[in-house]
Each structure stands twice: as structure tokens, then as C-alpha cells.
Structure 1
Amino acid sequence: MTHCMACLRPARAVVVFAFCVAAASAFTAPVAFADEANADSSPDDRAPYTTESDVHLFTIQKDGSVIEHDDSVLRANTTSGVDDIAQRYVWFNKDIEQVQLLAAETIDPDGAAHPVGPEAIRDVQEPRSAGAPSFEDGVLRTVIFPGVERGSRVRLAFGKTREKPLQAGTFAYLVEPTREPVDAQRLIFDLPADVPLYADARGYTALPPVTANGRTRYEFDYRHGPYARLETSAVGYANWGDRLMVSTVPDFASFAARYRGPATDATMNDPAIVQLARSLTARVADPRAKAQILYDWMRMNIRYVALFLGETAAIPHKATDILRNRYGDCKDHVALYSALLAAVGIRSEAVLLNLGPYYSLPDVPGYGASAINHAIVWIPELTLYADTTAGGVGFGYLPAGVMDRPVLRVGEGVLSRTPATQLRERTARVQIDVDENGAAHYAYRVEDAGMTAEIERNMFRRATRQRAQQIAASRLLQTGLHGTAQLQTGDVAATGGPFATSMQGKVEHFVWTDGATALPTLTSLAGGMASQVEAWLAEPARTQPWACVGGEFDETLEITLPRFVKMTDLPSDTDVRNRFVTFSSRYVFDPAAHVLQIRRQLRAAFGHQMCSAEEFAAMKDDLVRIERDLDAQIVVKAANSAHVAGAK
């Protein structure tokens, strides 16, 4: 449906508002302990908590100012539910908002009420501001409820007054369930009669609007029993589940215009910015090379303050201030990078999108956890997007969290989409020499190309020597091997191109000197195609859309066996081919040299990042065949053991 909010429900207020959820929490399914699950046969009681009632009223004026009133009661069903509701937060912007707590109390299972005392109410700085003075406007009013136990209810009623809108003359609001049961919820939006409210409602019941005394009241009801768990790797619930987005902005073109005007920055041509950009790019003439140099400078030198767009004023700080402070949120990164590009004659524009597991936007524009919450840059003459907040992503690539997403190009005011795929290649070589004592001396080299190369390089760029060795040891252990590991890396000072790491070490008792030994046919340590296929098969069946990122893998194992063993079992070659995945494995054993070579190749090309449950069902059997090959073992037996018929 389409009815016409600039007020974002902040992701950080999730504990207060039962209908607001941060993107990351969409991947966390509630877990009940056995005694709690059996305490009551009702499915509702197996959810950590239930929203018994929530009435949320917004009284909006033409200029976008708003008085907000919320009265909600949550019931703890389990011990984990006690943790969820015993401390709740009201987020507000101290520069433009005031909060008044009207009621805060714990209600025992027998109905006795215990008010929250003033000592249990405190204001704390929004932790994601990371101490950056330019972002100290975000405050969490913390309410700590006394005596909460299973069966207790907590009631919180508050008023919030916003005298200055985030965007002048607009109001918008996103509602997304927390995926805990809701007995009754009503959202009420009271606006001037000549200010229409547009809405994209899915699962929320819109009541007929009522107009009286020059104002119109829009109401939406919501109730929901226990939710099915979110499957492993499922994309955000709002892609297919319930959601409400309301806005006084009629369309995305109008939303872009409202962002574009205030974002105009008179300091973008400041001499300090121009001089910096030109000095950094003085030795190159190619526009792409210039853009890359400036991109790398941004991600290495401007700290990212990870506040989502719309949680604070949707106007970037001045480019000169960002340069001086050396930090900023996403819109600030866009502002400074755009100014640097302009200084060397490269045009760019801001792009608004969602950073999270959401592959669609609501039909009406606004900020929110599953709506617009991030900004990146579009460079038309290079036909590429750039996100300088992603410190570990190389120029020309995008982090997975903004791939295959609808985007609003602010300059043109049109919707477009980020690329669905990008280069991702991984080549791994494992060489193992087993000595006459059964110990394995191994050498491992892996090279990443494309999107993952800079992610890997950046991890080691920022790691201490000790941390780098810990990573090496962990990767060996994750492969199921216990031994030593020494790591070397490629040039971490580079900012582009493939990146390689190598490891050497020793694994004791890799082959037993008596009896039979089953050896893994590992063609890569952790992070290779085995890890990838395991992730795809994390669910035996899927009913929800899931995140599917393709790539190409080429892996080889060469193992030299000791003379005291004979090969008794060798896997067969495997070939798999379907619409999405191509896989092959080849096993070659030279009995004279006692050398086994295994080569595996995997290519996954989904064409998008959100796969359907039907697509999973179509490829599952083939993925299981691939997994079986990757888990295969070779069996060798000490020659002094009893002869095994059919040994190779």
C-alpha cells in the first residue's frame, strides 16, 4: 500500500522499541534452555520475551518537529528474556531532543509493582561515537529495572520532543519486528491534514485514516505469534517478512533532492583540500589512477565513525573539518572524498543505500536499519562505486554488505543498483613430505585475487607479528591439524593486486608407523573451498532467502608418502556441473615415487547475492557430492602390517 516519516528509528534503540531491530541482530535466533522450554508447553513461552502491549504515538508538525509518546509492557518468558528486558534504553539526540520518562516499573508475576528509582536511570554516551567530539550528540538514557525474574513484566513510558527535524519539513519512520512475539502493538501518526503520509506496510494492518480539526490520524496495528527461527546465512528478515515504512516524502527523487541541498559544502574547494589532492596525484595522469590514490589515502587516514546514516543529522560535516579531525561517518567520508576528487577534475556524487543483509528498499524513502542507512560514492566517468569507509577493501571493489543493493544516486535522483558480482579468486598449493617417523613437513601457499585480496592484506597490515603468527596457528588448527606454523606474507604496503601468504611447519604423527592411517585430502587450509561449501550447506533445507557469494577456487595437494606404507584406499575422481556450480577433482598416485597429487577446481557463479530457497534445493544434492569429495580420505597402511588385498 502507499500512504506519506524524517525520524529514523535508531537501531540502537532496539531494546526499548519492540519493533525496531539492528541489522546484525537479524542473524541471531533465540535459544531456550531445556528446562525453560519444558516449563510451559506454550510456544510463546519458549521465546525469551513477549511484547504484551505497545502504543506508540507521533504528533508531527509541518516543519518536521515531532512529539513522540511510547508506552510499552514486555514480559520475560525465560532467563535469557530477563537479560533482554531488565535494562532498556531510550536513544536521543541531546542537541535537538528532550526525553521525559513518564513511568518505569517492574511488575511481579503476582501483579505487585516496583518503580524504578532515580539511581537506576542514567545517561551514557553512544559507544559507537568512539569518543569523537563531532558525534557526541547521541545519548542513551539507560533504565535498569529492579527484581526482574521469569514471568515479570517491565513497563516503560516516555515522551520525546524533537524541536528540530533531522531533515527540515519531513518525517519518516521504519518499524521492523524484533522477532519476539507481539500480543498487541499500535503505531499512531498524527499529522496536519494537508501533509499526506505514504506507507509501505507488510504484515501491519492499516486502519482507515481519520481526519478531524485540521489533522489526520493514521494508525497501524500489529500482532504476531512465535516466529520461525532465522536460518543460518539467511538474509535480513525484512527482505520477505513484516515491515512498516512511513514517510512524508512521496518518492526517492524528492528524498534525494532533500539530501542534496543541505549537503552542499562551500569548503570543498578549500586550498588545503585542493593542495592535498594535487600533491598526492602529481605523478599520475590517468583519472582512475588519481581516484585510486585518493581512495587509498582516505581509507588509510580518515577514521570511520560507525554511526548509521540518519541516526544523527543527515548533513555532512564540512570537508575542511573532516580533514582536520581525520575522522567522520559515512556521509563525511563521501563529502571529503568527493572534494578530493573534484580537486583533480573528477566528478562524483553521493549514493544512499542500505548497509546490511537487505537486498531491497521499502517502496517509500526513509532512513532505517533495513532502509537507507549508508552513503558511498559514485564516479560516473569510471562507472564504479567506492566506499572509503571499508578500510580493507581495495579500489574498484565493494564490501559484500553493499553489493547487489538498490541505491539512490543523489545527484541524479534516480534509483540504480550496485554490481551483483565481482572478481574473487583463490589459488592454494599444499605440499606435504612425510618422513620415516610418520611426521609431516608441510609448505602451504595461498594467493587471493580480486575482492578478497585486499581484505587479507589489510588484516596482516594491521596485525602485530605475534598476532600474525596466532592467525597462522589458528588456520592450521581449524583444518584439524596440530603442529607448528610459521607464516610469511606478501607486501602489505601495497594497496592493490593479488596477495599471497605462505606457511611452513611440522605435524607429528601424521602417519602412524604401525596399522592403518586415514589421511585428509586437504588441498587448502581453513578458508578454502571446503570452508565455502560448508557454509553453503549450513542448513539441511532452506525456506528463506540466503546470502550466496560466488568465486573461483583452484587447489592442489602433493603429498610424498614414506616407504613404510602402502596405499590401500584412494577416492575416485568427481565431476559436478549445474546451473550455478562447476567442480572437479582429480587423484593421481605414482606408486614408484610414492607421491599423490590431488587437484580440485570450483567455480560458483550465482549472478546475484541473494539466493532463493528453491535455488538451494536445486543445487543441494550437487553441493553434498562436492562436500563428500572434500571430506574424502586416503588410507595407508604400514608395510609391516598384514597384507591388504587390493592395495594400490
Structure 2
Amino acid sequence: MVGGALGLHAALCFAAQPTAQRAAEPVAQPVAQPVAQPVAQPAAQPVAQPVAQPVAQPVAQPAAQPAAQPAAQPAASPAVVASAVVHPNPVHPNLVQSGDASDRASVVIERLDTTKVVQRDGSLVATVERMQRANSVLGAAEISPLYLGYETGLATLAVLAAYTVDSQGKRHDVPPTAMRDISADTTGSAPIFNNVRQRVVLFPYLTTGGRQVIRYRVDLQPQLPGTFSDAMSAPVWPVMESRIVYDLPSDMRLYADARGYEAVPPVEHDGRTRYGFTYRRDSARQRLADTVQAPNVGDYLIVSTFPDYAAFAAAYRALLGAPPAPDPAVVALARTLTAHDADDHARAATLYDWVRSHIRYVAIHLGRSDLVPRAPVDVLRDGYGDCKDVVGLYGALLDAVGIRHDAVLLRAEGAAQLPRVPALAFFDHVIAYLPDSGTYADLTGSAVGFGYLPPQLLGAAGVRVGDGAVVHLPARQESMTRSRFEIDLQPGGDAKFALRLEWDGYASEFQRSAIRNVPAASRPSLANAWFAENGIQAVATFDTSDVALMRGAFQAAMHGALPGLVLPAGNTEIRPDAVVQASLAPTMASLTIRAVRTEPFRCLSDALRSSVRIVLPEGATLAYLPDDVSVHVPHLDYASRYRYDAARRMVEIARDVSLHFDGSICSPAQARALAQPANVVRHDLEAHVVVRMPPRAPPPVAEPVAEPVAGAGAEPVAEAVDARTRSAAEPRRRQGGTTDARMTGVQATAEEER
């Protein structure tokens, strides 16, 4: 992610966002925003665009230059900012913006003005003034405290004014004691070593109807000297008025890509050009949690002095400098590790597995290390590094055994399309690429086997550092889970069981890595915990195939007892296929519950095959067995089969599930088409069988001995005692003759036998 919320600061491998930063704050701080990416233009690749034919020339260009592209070529190249409106990014046909029609969002941005004055060396001064109104108590909590991030050594931050205007119109200035600098939180997914700070501003008397006003300045040093780029996504809240101004030397041509933002005519002054943009939106954006990241589909503005990705990659290569000379320790390690490998594919896999298992991921962001990796020998010696460090070490190891490689810049959460103009702040991750085999390798994914990718990177777009070519990562990868669950019910309600699991494809190393670092003596507790999460009490052993291996299928086996799986007498519901339920129920629920979609969402291919066998004890019978289910529609195949062999008292259940998508991002239309079939599957995953255990013989009831009572009434007293004894020996009855009970998380019903 962007290393600081202010000042256009970019950083590779910024995997752990500061948790103290509210999600709404970065978009409300347009000095440096995560880039909204134009997934809406699958046909337009920036590198293929002719640099010499901008959509519109800057005002400062000679009149002899062509003024614009022909109208028939609207997507031929990024716009050059001029008096014409910025070249728009066509809205994807699957995208429909959602909003709050009442305009009563929790926060409304009433004014947002940003000015960035850029010098020829790429340094800049940015000033931001923002006024926003809290429409509710929630809104006030969302914007106060306010967090402003920056990195010491590259940027300085000065708050020029900060105050609240309460609902009565009275101004309350933020006192100096209510503004503090804190270190960025490092409690995210990986440790971070950086100089990022956050200026925390706490606004007094901010309640419903109050306005927050802040004005601040950021001075930023260049990261790619002599260049400039900026990227921002529109705020999630309604925006009444927003203006952005870029002031550059007139000979620094500015290219732009935008959706929702409009350009205003530039103004020449003192050898400089001031470029302006405006933005307004009357409603708030509302999103589902599993949709594609907001920058992919929302409004955005990207400006850059890079005409294309080849120029951007060249500038990055210049920053990296010449590769270091081969180090003897690195060369010796590579040759030792691959001494027994038969070909380059095996050698590349061996080196990949060694790096991801021996080099610990630690994000390092100090000055130039935001963008420039450390020397491979230093990474090897220290045993840790971030994404660019481990890619650099992997590259040095590959060089030692003669395997070609390159690096690919992209976004860590996966972006299906790059913007038309390059912006440094867009990229926050780097992976390796092996051109001879076409393999992409993310060395920060300790749970990802060689040849596979983290799911969020499937179909992602990136740029190769070596030549600036725009590439797309594979959009799908195979994954298969197989399970066999055998349950032997015992008289009294307990059960013996055996569960065998096998994972192949992407799922194999993902599951194996989860167990690899757990001591063997502690693994039975994993099995017991897994059953507990699925509502079943278990006492189990746990065995696996060799967890030291990092390739190939992975197997696990659990054996043991399930105490109290069913009631000792009467009817009990059993949902036996917890493997399928746990694996696919969330996916099916997502397709079903969130069927009304307006934006693309992530959809991953997967496959699962399971079988269950339940053997009943003597005297037990099956009271209910579901019907078979078969669903075969585009992208989803599902079949379940339920059988009962009364002679052997055996229940057999088989399920076969396949989700198969062409890519990793699906449209709202696909969600609507899958909603009803997915609902059928979801209900069948929740289906149960009902086992009827034989009634237990009631314990003998001793005849009551009545004390002799003098006088009348002795015999009725004895009858009353006998009645109380009979009542205590019989189960309680509910209307309809059943009693609901939950034992060890299993739905159960007890029916009184007469």
C-alpha cells in the first residue's frame, strides 16, 4: 500500500496496513491515495499506446502539434491534460454504482481542495483544506480522531489549522495537546520496520451536525527523481465540492487517466502550468465486503509525467542501478541446493521452496529501501526481508544456476487492469517471473507452493521491470479436496470414527503449511479443535503425510471417538459431512445471500469430493434420509447421493462439487444466474439424516412401602407416592411428541416411545 497517506509516498511490500488508520481516512486525504484501477478497460494496454499521439496536447505545446486523437480512437492513449476534458474511462457494463439516495450518509464532504506544487526534480509541496460534516454520532466517530500519515526523512507535515464548528456555528480550535505523533501500528499480518508516523488530531465538540475543518501542508522529497505521478480514489462519502490543482514546470508534460473527475482549462504562469480537476458526487458508495477492491470500480484520478509503462520501468531500473556482482556464498548455496535436480523447473522449485521457508517476511521501509532491495547476500545473512528483498535473493540464486528471471510490479490485493498512465503509488508489491517456463512466483507466500499464486493475485495485471511490458497473471489454478468419513455408532450414543483427507493442487501446500510448524505431539489437539468448530466433541489421533515435503498432494488421517454423538434413545439429527459444510457453505451463502450485486466480485474455482459411511448399532434404524440433489449449470456442478442399506444398517452419502470459473472475477449477472442453484446446494449441504436409537428399558421401580397411618386416608397417601415415582421415570413431552435437545453441538430430537 502507499507508505504514507500523505505526500505521494509509495512503498513496495507494505503488507501490514496500520490498524489505527480508519478505512475511510485514506480516501479522505487526497495527497496520496491508493489508486482506483480501471478494470473497465480490458482492451486498452498502456504499453501498446503510441507516446507521440496524446489525446490532447498541453496548452504550452506548439500549435503545429496534433491537437487530439481522432474521435474513433477514444481509448488509444492516456489523455494529456489540456483544455479538453480528461479522457474518460468507460464504465464497465457490469458496473452499476450504488448509493445512498437520501444523501444522509454518516459524513458529507462539503469542501475538499488540494494543491500540489511540483518542482523539476520531482519534489513537491502539497496543501490540503477539507471541511466535512458529521450527520450522525457514527459519522463523528468516523472522522475524529483524524490520522495523517507521513514518513520522516522523506516528508514533513505541518497542520496549519484544525477546528470544529459545532451545530450552533461556534468555532472550537484543536489545542496543541490534542495533536500527537505516534508510530505506525505494526500489528498487521507481518512485522514492519519503518519511519512512518501518524499525526493524530482529536477534534473537540464534534457531534451530530458539527463540521470538521483542517488545513495542512506536506513537503515531500522525490522517490523517482525528475518525475511526478499521483493517484487518488474518490472518497466513499458524498462530495459537494472538490478541486485538485497540479502546478508543474511547463516543459513537464502531464498525462492523466480518470473516471468521474473532470478537467478544467490549464493556466500558464511564470513558465509553469497549473492543471485543474473538479469532482462531485451526491451519494455515498455502499459496497459488499467480498466485491473487488473499491479502487477497481470507483471514481479515480491518476496523473503522471510518464507517457507509458516502458518509460516508468526504465526510471525504476535506473533507480535500482546495476545488479550486484555474484556473491560466492549465494552461488555456493544455489549449486548445493540444486545438485540433484534434473532440470531447470526442478531447480527453480527447489530454490523457491528454500527461500520461502528460510527467509522470514519483514516489511522494511526506510528511505530508499521503500523501493530498492537490499543486497542478496545481506538478505541471506539476516534471514529476513520484504517482497523486493526476497525477489532479489531468489533472482541471485537463479542467476547462479543459469535460469532467466525478471520482476513484476503489481498491487498486493490484485488489480485486474492497470491504469492507462503509470503511477508509482499504484504499486505496492513485487513478485518473480521465470520467462522460460512462464511461471510467476510470490516468495512472500509461505503457504503457496511453486507454480501457484495467492488467490488474490489470480488474473492480476502487472508490469515487468525488465522491459515495461504489461502482463496478466494466470486467472485460475487447480485445487481439489477429497474426504472419506466413516462413523461406527455404538449402543448408548457414542461413536468411533475415521476421517481421511487429501488435498491436491493449490490446496495441498496451503493445508500442509498450516500443520508443518505444529509439533507432532500437539497435532491431536488440532483435530479435536477442528471437530469442536463444527459442533462435535471428539477425542482423536492425528496423522499426516510428510510435512517436510513442499510439493505434491498432502494427506491427513484422524481416528478416535465422538462421545455423545447421538442420544442414547430416540431420534437424533446428524449432519455428518462437516468437511463439505465447512469448505463450501460460506461460498454458497455468498452466492445466495448476496445475489443482488452491482459490482464485480471475486470467484475462485474449487473442487471437492466426499463420502460418508455411518454404521448403526443393533436395534437402531434410520428415521429420515434426504433426497438426492443434482445441479448442473454454468460454473457450478453439484451432485449428492443418499443410500440406506437396512440389512447392513449402513448409511452412505456421497457429494461431488465443482466450481469452475473462467477467471477470478465474476460479474453481477453471473451472481444472479448462480443464486438459485447455489441456494439449492446450500440447503443440501445443511441436510441431515435422522437416526433412531432403540428405547432403553426403564429401570425397575421399587414398590413404595407406606407407613401405617392411623385413621382414614392411609391408602391415598401411598397412591400419591407411587404417582410421583412414575412421573420422575418418564421423559417430558412437548406438543407434537418431540423434545429438542443439543448435545455436543448436534441438533437432536427425542421422541417418547409408547
TM-score class, shorter? 0.7 to 0.9
Q: TM-score, normalised by structure 1?
A: 0.88
**CA distance 1:420–1:64, shift in 2 (3 Å):** same
Alignment of 1:157-196 (within 5 A): 157-162=215-220, 164-196=221-253
User: How big is each residue's C-alpha offset from its partner over 1:302-358, in whole Å with a ceiling of 9 and x where there is no partner?
Assistant: 222347999964222333333333332222222221111111111111101122153
SS of 2:265 mapped into structure 1: coil
**Structure 1: distance between partners of 2:271 and 2:586:** 61
Q: Which residue in the other structure is 1:82 paired with?
A: 140
- 1:475 is aligned to 530
1:403 aligned residue? 458
> Are 1:298 and 2:308 an aligned pair?
no
What letter matches 1:109 in structure 2? Answer: S
Identity percentage over the alignment? 34
| Range 302-311 or range 401-410, more displaced | 302-311
Q: What secondary structure is seen at the aligned counterpart in 2 of 1:381?
A: coil
Structure 2 residue 15 is the aligned partner of structure 1 residue 15 = no
Of 114, 117, 140, 2:172 maps to 114
Write the letter of the residue equivalent to 1:429: R
1:65-109 Cα offsets, whole Å, 9 max, x none, are 111111112333333333322222222221222222211223332
The one-letter amino acid of 2:614's match is: I
- Counterpart of 1:374 in structure 2 is 429
Match of 2:726 in 1: none
Residue 235 (1) aligns with residue 245 (2):
no
Q: Secondary structure at the match of 1:356?
A: coil
- 2:147–2:198 contact (8 Å) kept in structure 1: yes
CA distance in 2, matches of 1:189, 1:348: 38
Q: CA–CA distance in 1 between the matches of 2:316 and 2:155? A: 21
1:249-299, CA deviations, whole angstroms, 9 ceiling, x for partnerless residues? 111111111112222344251223222222322333421222122212221
Secondary structure, aligned partner of 1:321: helix
How far apart are the structure 2 equivalents of 1:133 and 1:483?
36
The alpha-carbon distance between structure 1 residues 234 and 311, as it changes in their structure 2 partners (threshold 3 A), is farther
- How far 1:484 moved relative to its partner? 4.1
Alpha-carbon distance in 1 for matches of 2:518, 2:258: 46
Gaps in structure 2 of 5+ consecutive residues: 1-5, 12-16, 37-99, 697-736, 738-754
1:568 aligns with 2:623: yes
Which of 439, 444, 447 aligns to 1:389? It is 444
Q: Indicate which of 326, 341, 361 corresponds to 1:269.
A: 326
CA distance in 1, matches of 2:145, 2:322: 41
Q: Decide whether aligned partners of structure 1 residues 103 and 268 sit closer, same or farther in structure 2, where only a CA change above 3 A counts.
A: farther
Distance between the aligned counterparts of 2:364 and 2:663, measured in 1? 28
* Secondary structure at 2:486 match in 1: strand
Matched, 1:289 2:346: yes
3-state SS of paired residue (1:142): strand
User: What is aligned with 2:638?
Assistant: 583
Helix, strand or coil at the partner of 1:250: coil
**May I ask how many residue pairs the two structures share in their alignment?**
618
> Are residues 308 and 599 of structure 1, via their aligned partners in 2, closer, same or farther at CA, if it must alter by over 3 Å?
farther
Is contact 2:34–2:231 with CA below 8 Å preserved after alignment? no
Q: Report the counterpart of residue 471 of structure 2 in structure 1.
A: 416
* Structure with larger Rg: 2
Answering whether residue 615 of structure 2 is matched by residue 544 of structure 1, we say: no
Pairing 1:603–2:674 present: no
CA 1:128–1:432: 2 relative to 1, 3 Å: same
Paired with 2:401 and 2:384, the residues of 1 have a C-alpha distance of 22
Deviations 1:412-437 (A, max 9, x none): 22111100111211111111111111
1:558 alignment partner, one of 596, 603, 613? 613
Equivalent residues of 1:580, 1:605 under 8 A apart = yes
1:523–1:600 CA contact under 8 A, matched in 2: no
Aligned pair 1:450/2:505, yes or no?
yes
C-alpha contact (below 8 Å) 2:512/2:554 kept by paired residues: yes
Distance change (3 Å), C-alpha of 1:310 and 1:475: farther
Cα gap change, 1:507 to 1:361, in 2 (>3 Å): same
CA distance in 1, matches of 2:646, 2:594: 40
My pick for the range that moved more, 470-479 or 416-425, is 470-479
RMSD: 3.1
**Structure 1 residues 47-62: aligned runs within 5 Å:** 47-62=105-120
Q: How does 1:137-536 map to 2 (within 5 A)?
A: 137-162=195-220, 164-306=221-363, 313-368=370-425, 371-463=426-518, 471-522=526-577, 524=579, 527-536=582-591
Contact 2:164/2:203, CA 8 A, preserved across alignment: yes
Q: Specify the code of the residue in structure 1 equivalent to 2:354.
A: W
| Counterpart residue number, 1:627 | 682
- The Cα shift of 1:134 comes to 9.7
Q: Once the two structures are superposed, what CA deviation does each residue of 1:480-528 show, in whole Å capped at 9, x if it has no partner?
A: 3344454433322221222223334443443334433332252626543
Given that residues 273 and 340 in structure 1 are in contact (C-alpha distance below 8 angstroms), is that contact kept between their aligned partners in structure 2?
yes
Describe the shift of the 1:504–1:149 C-alpha distance in structure 2 as closer, same or farther (beyond 3 A): farther
Of residues 330-339 and 591-600 in structure 1, the stretch that sits farther from structure 2 once superposed is 330-339
Out of 309-318 and 233-242, give the one that drifted further: 309-318
- How many angstroms apart in 2 are the aligned matches of 1:261 and 1:128? 31
The 2-side partners of 1:136 and 1:8 are apart by: 13
Q: Which amino acid aligns with 2:151?
A: N
Distance between the aligned counterparts of 2:485 and 2:493, measured in 1? 18
> SS of 2:251's equivalent?
coil
* Cα distance, 1:531 vs structure 2: 4.1
Q: What amino acid is the match of 1:541? A: V
Residue type of the partner of 1:405?
A: A
Distance 1:625 1:198, change over 3 A: same
Contact 2:34 2:233 in 1 (8 A): no
8 Å CA contact retained: 2:157, 2:217 = yes
Q: 1:619 to 1:318 in 2, by over 3 A?
A: same
The 1:303/1:639 distance shift into structure 2, 3 A limit, reads closer
Query: Partner residue of 1:29?
Result: none
